[in-house]
Chains A and B, each alone.
Chain A
Amino acid sequence: MKVTSNVDHLLTQVLAGEVWPPLADRNAYRIDPDGRAFFLPGMGGVTLDVHVGDPATGYAGDHVEPGLSIRHREPGANYALQYLSCIGNRVEVTSGPAKGASGFVIGQHAYVLVDMDSDDMCRVSVGDEVSVFAVGQGLALDGHREVVVKNCSPALLTALAGGTTAAGQLEVHVSAVVPPEAIGAGAGMASEYANTDLMGAYAGLGEDLSLGLESLCVGDVVALSDQDHRFGRGYRQGWTTIGVISTASCLLYGHGPGPSSIMSGPVSAFKVVVDESANLSSFNLEQVRERT
């Protein structure tokens, strides 16, 4: 049975942001797990050719942010943008050659990350302004009081496979189950901000670094074992967090492709079903949004 919620009571807030430039420092290099220096693209700007459904590993990049990386210049306004934007929210380009083009939020990474059609994305660059139609924070599921939902738009909730089981659990389909050993940078941070880097996805590096996560894709819905992300992000035995992979390849040690968190609760509250199609690319969020 599809899960019901308080979606009719949620508000939409229109938030502005702009494509933020990639940032570097004059010493240029960062270091990989084996101590080698690298300088690679990934964060900031408009990163082309990486969309939802594409592999999350295999790029010569670091903290690869698919699509547009969005911030606001003013710190307070930026936190509003980062905290209130939810996966699946509609985004409209409001300046520059791509004015009028639209896309959708795929997650946060200290930037709001936006995917859109390749032809439109090619025309967007640093400084172009966007509007995010932010809706989703405050979402609560009927009959699943132990599950805290965040960063999840009503459209994404509708599109997710599963729902309330006969036993009263929340069935969620995920493409992978992530062990707690994989949790890297992001632990201890607010769960409405940025994402949780997963270690063990260093494709091509040593076997002793692998946790079998090299085949993750951008947009994958994943379950994080022993993670409680209801009020921040921490290790907690017997708790499960559901997330959506929003960033790709990462060489910086202790970092990696990462999920933005969407649901968290005791393990008993969920029925996790492994399903390869559990990816944002299968959901056609735009159509779902129009229906809802």
Chain B
Amino acid sequence: MSEVKVVSVNLLGYVDQGEVGTDPYRVDRDGRPYVAVGDGGTVLGLRLGDSVFDHVGDHAAPGVCLVHPNQEACHALVGLACLGNQVIVRTGDAAGRAGAVLGKRGGGQRVIAVFSQDVLTRLRPGDQVALASCGQGAAAPLPGLTQMNIAPAALSLLGVTVRGGHLEVGVRAMLPSPFVGNGIGRPMIMWDVDLQVDADAEATRSLRLGDLVAISDLDARANAGYRRDWMSVGIVVHGASPQPGHGPGVTIVLSGPAERFSIRVEGDTHTGLSEKRLISMAEEEGREDG
């Protein structure tokens, strides 16, 4: 059988402002009101490698969120965007500068893109960004597994290897499925899953943006749901949230029977994805496509 080619599509996204309702307050799990900071938009001072718990924020992502004003176009933008896709600013003071897709969040609402801090300071809400999408439909490195939300070339960035019929993945933590909150029951090409964890828990205390995590008994091939002896692997794309049922977000990239994975829980020694590696990889991909 001939190899099936992955289709690349150039898309347009807009730098997000972030939105708040008519009431400034949200309510945390103990009933205390708080003002949500960093929930969408362009967030400065938060980077890949930072702890998900270190900042006063709500779902804050390390970089910029991209949206589209037409809802259906926004869903396509979010659905097609994959980790490692190159993004190039088209308008405004940062025109011409390049970054990369990290992940996605919310019901087909936002793509999270990483730029260097000097680019982020020049970006303004409404700036247009070209996104070279590529990756959905790509075959997983092993039969029986499902891959999504990641440019084929980016898998090596995550240190994922095939050995002896297993997919070897090093992760910060392996979490049981009840930790999965908002996002459960939703299609994983559109949503991330929020982890209901806090800074006190041993397994997740050292969780950082860009980390890989594994979730046991979770089948995330389409909608995410409970299935015994399955495994899903994803990347941490945004920080913690005080809201009950919410928390650090994971964009799923691999899912399949647990027996096909060899998960290495690295704990404090885990090194997640770095801004520099992600952006330079996306640049290389961009050159090859060009």
Binding site for B on A (CB under 8 A): 31, 33, 35, 179-189, 197, 199-200, 206, 208-209, 211, 226, 228-236, 252-255
Contacts and interface: CB of A to CB of B under 8 A. Distances in A.
Nearest to A229: B244
A232 B245 CA distance: 7
B31 A230 contact: yes
A181 B229 CA distance: 13
19 contacts: A33-B219, A182-B226, A183-B178, A199-B225, A208-B228, A228-B244, A229-B244, A230-B31, A231-B28, A232-B243, A234-B243, A234-B244, A235-B181, A252-B223, A253-B185, A253-B219, A253-B225, A254-B184, A255-B223
A35 B229 contact: no
B29 A236 contact: yes
A234 B29 contact: yes
Interface string B222-255: 1111111110000000000001111000000000
B227 A208 contact: yes
Max chain B C-beta neighbours (<10 A), residue from A179, A188, A199:
A188
A88 to B, nearest CB: 25
Given A231-B28, A232-B27, 20 more contacts: A31-B223, A35-B221, A179-B178, A180-B178, A181-B226, A182-B226, A187-B181, A188-B244, A188-B245, A189-B182, A199-B225, A208-B227, A209-B225, A228-B29, A232-B244, A234-B181, A234-B244, A235-B181, A253-B219, A254-B223
Contacts of B289: none
B206 to A, nearest CB: 20
A115 B223 CA distance: 31
A187 B31 contact: no
A184 B225 contact: yes
The prevalent SS among residues of A at the interface is: loop
Contacts of A33: 219, 225, 227
B196 interface: yes
A180 B183 CA distance: 15
Contacts of B177: 181
Given A209-B227, A233-B244, A181 B217 contact: yes
B30 interface: yes
A236 B244 CA distance: 9
A35 B181 CA distance: 22
Contacts of A234: 29, 181, 196, 243-246
B223 A253 contact: yes
A229 B230 CA distance: 28
B97 interface: no
A188 B176 CA distance: 17
A220 B95 CA distance: 59
Contacts of B181: 187-188, 234-235
B205 interface: no
Contacts of A31: 222-223
Contacts of A231: 27-31, 244
B166 interface: no
A228 B31 CA distance: 11
Contacts of A181: 176-178, 217, 226
Interface string B14-38: 0000000000000111110000000
Contacts of B246: 188, 234
B243 A226 contact: no
B93 to A, nearest CB: 36
A254 to B, nearest CB: 3
B90 interface: no
